[in-house]
Copies of this chain bind each other. A is one copy, B any other.
Amino acid sequence: MAYVDIVTALAIIQFIFFGAQVAKARGKYGIKAPSITGNEVFERHFRVQQNTLEVLVLVIPALYLFSRYYNPLWAAGLGVVYLAGRQLYAINYVKDPAKRGPGYGLTVLPILILVLGFGFGAIRRLAWP
């Protein structure tokens, strides 16, 4: 599981980094809390972080539940695809939100494989114990 743990640590650090970008953009564009609108570039950073929250919540349990049924190294590999996809998503979203598609796909695809994987693993275990 140590490989999966390292991927999880990196996913959390990546999310904290996106949060720091939001804080920096708050200062740079003068968006005072609790406001979350008012500058297009700030809003892009904010949406990158919020969207990452939405997938981080899925990928962490999915990595560990997949590892219960299959080789944890496969989980870690899918986690690396997630990390790369998320980085691509963030870079492209801030440049041009219309180009966020490929990075988003590379984030959601490994999550779907993990979730369908452990879901089928659990069903199989119940059906053929």
A57 close to B46 (CB less than 8 A) = no
CA distance A126 to B58 in the complex (A): 26
- Residues B115 and A13 in contact, CB atoms below 8 Å apart: yes
Binary per-residue interface labels of chain A (97-129) against chain B in the complex, 1 for a CB within 8 Å, 0 otherwise: 110100000001001100110110111011000
- A4 nearest in chain B by CB position: B122
Which of B47, B58, B122, B123 lies in contact with A33, CB distance below 8 A?
B47
Interface residues of A (CB under 8 A from B): 1-3, 5-6, 8-10, 12-13, 15-16, 19, 32-37, 40, 43-44, 46-47, 49, 53-54, 56-58, 60-62, 65, 68, 93, 97-98, 100, 108, 111-112, 115-116, 118-119, 121-123, 125-126
